[in-house]
Structure 1
Amino acid sequence: MLLVLPQLKNKVLVERPNNKLQIYDCVPIEMNDRREVQLSKLLSWLLRHRANKEGLQISNDGYIAVSELLLHHSFRGKYNKSDIIRVVENNSKKRFKLRQNPQNNILEIKANQGHSIDINNTDLIQILEPKYETLVHGTYFKYWPKIKNAGLHHMSRKLIHLSKGILGNSNVISGLRRDVELYVFIDLSAALADGIRFYESENGVVLTEGNVNGYLEPKYFSKVTVVKTGQQIYP
């Protein structure tokens, strides 16, 4: 958990073991939007996809020590701990999480979802009943013929990502790219009834591995619409 403390200037709180909180300095620096976006993309790339290949020690549940990240050639001399804390704090999609390691009290960071590397994400909560009326996957016209035939697939990731609403909905924090062209609406009730497992991440993204082949089949599509016009193109 990360909390900003307006009453304590340039301070943030990070959750420690046993629900204790530790205050960290967050020194103000010149960090424009472009630099912040670059750091966010770099964190996503390493935490989701490249940690092992880059020689970083990643825990079974996806955490890497911030101090180790800062020694990586992509970070060294370019970013500091305050930069990383600020990106976690400011990221509108809540892609990352900071924690104090329960064994050694080292500050660590992880990506909330989107991994292509194998991790045991214990923070995911399984969805056991159809409690969301709307579940949407955003995609593009060029992928629609294959999706229409075979269904949604997690591709290089481990799980298919779904949003609890469309772009512009106040309850949508993450799960949809802003430039998607099609909305694929999912019948959660039907999929759950057939034994498809769904989970929810800490930042509100709904995830599923689909069937045994990694597909969420078209029979679970309640409808597909064009984002710009609202035209229904399926079924």
Structure 2
Amino acid sequence: MLPDKETTRLSKLLSLVLRHDPAHLGLTLDEQGWVGVEELLRQAQAHKINLTHEMLLHIVDTSPKQRFRLSDDQQRIRASQGHSVVVELGYAPAVPPAVLYHGTTARHQAQIMREGLQKMSRQQVHLSADHATARQVGSRHGAPVVLRIDAARMHAEGHAFYRADNGVWLTEEVPARYLQLPDDAAAA
């Protein structure tokens, strides 16, 4: 339906307005991060952005990371996680897998191992359930490093975890004591 380049461009725009800067298109998210689909389309058109209902459905349906979610009645849309604006996504606490992963770059590895993982400008730290996804995330900004998180111990010691609609695991922080270097980095 849409060329890959246009899908990527519009997906990045949706990430911007649904996660970080809804005012970019004159939108206001509700407390749970939702905005009306018709309002989103109307505001996109007002800003000379060609975004139709069919295009929006295509982006939601084909997003490999399932970044966006439509409400059950298909009338509202929100980002699944990754917000820097304050929203309450309403995810219930969940028991995580024993091990979770975080993809980063080699240049950040030493600092993370000293200070742990912090949410920085986001509302929560994002973790992956599998090594491959974390590696892909880490490779976006340089040589990837995948850190192992002892999620079972964290959870047993009182840290809360949440699972987003798209399978990303969320927590407030990961103190350094729960992090392990990958086997190849530990040997170096």
TM-score (norm 2): 0.87
- For the 8 Å contact 1:200–1:207, the answer to whether it is kept is yes
Determine helix, strand or coil for the equivalent of 1:185: strand
Q: Which residue of 2 aligns with 1:232?
A: 185
Structure-2 residue corresponding to 1:136: 101
Residue 139 of structure 2 corresponds to 179
Distance 1:43 1:93 in 2: 13
CA separation of 1:48/1:57 partners in 2, compared to 1, >3 Å: closer, same or farther? same
What fraction of aligned residue pairs are identical, expressed as a percent?
A: 30
Q: Is the 8 A contact 1:175 1:205 kept in 2?
A: no
Residue equivalent to 2:20: 49
1:119 alignment partner in structure 2: 87
CA–CA separation in structure 2 for the residues paired with 1:52 and 1:79: 17
Q: How many Å separate the matches in 2 of 1:35 and 1:143?
A: 32
Number of residue-to-residue matches in the alignment: 184
Q: Determine which structure has the larger strand proportion and give its number.
A: 1
Distance 1:57 1:175, change over 3 A: farther
2:178 alignment counterpart: 220
Q: In 2, distance between residues paired with 1:87 and 1:188? A: 32
Task: Give per-residue Cα distances to partners, 1:55-81, cap 9 Å, x unaligned.
Answer: 312111111112222233576451111
SS at match of 1:183: strand
Deviation at 1:108, TM superposition (A): 1.3
Determine if the alignment matches structure 1 residue 202 to structure 2 residue 165. Answer: yes
Please say if residues 125 and 201 of structure 1, whose CA atoms lie closer than 8 Å, have aligned partners that are also in contact.
no
- Aligned-CA RMSD value: 2.4
Question: Does residue 1:39 correspond to 2:7, yes or no?
Answer: no
* Rg larger for: 1
The answer to whether the Cα contact below 8 Å between 1:98 and 1:109 also exists between their aligned partners in 2 is yes
1:87 to 50, 59, 82: 59
The structure 1 segments of at least 4 consecutive aligned residues displaced by more than 6 Å after TM superposition are: none
| Corresponding residue SS for 2:159 | coil
